Amino acid sequence: MDHNDAFMAALSEGKSVARTRGHTLGRWQKVTEDMYVSMCLACSKLTWVTQSRGEKRWRIGGSVVKQGCSEGNLRASSVD
């Protein structure tokens, strides 16, 4: 798996976990070369995808992957 494939797989996993927990993510924003964040449009909890320098693996994290959405399952027309 190349760098881009690993990144896309982590983003996909983050989106999937968020949906499972009732979150509706907004756009992903680049923070640094190694970190991207997205916020739930309903409850404003964050999730991120990050990569430690020198590693090939990307990881997901944040309150979105640990907790359910406190505002229910909002569906927005501008998701993704």
Which residue is listed with tokens 């739930």? 40
Q: Which residues pair with 35 in a beta bridge?
A: 32, 50
Is the pLDDT at 1 greater than 70, yes or no?
no
Residue 23 in this model has a pLDDT that exceeds 50: yes
Domain locations in the chain as residue ranges: 3-66
C-alpha–C-alpha distance, residues 21 and 15, integer Å: 10
Residue 78: is its pLDDT beyond 60? no
Characterize 28-51 residue by residue with b for buried, 16 or more Cβ atoms within 10 angstroms of its Cβ, and e for exposed: beeeeeeebbbbbbbbebebbbbb
- Quote the pLDDT of residue 35: 95
For residue range 25-73, list pLDDT tens digits in order. 999 999 999 999 999 999 999 999 999 888 888 999 999 989 999 876 5
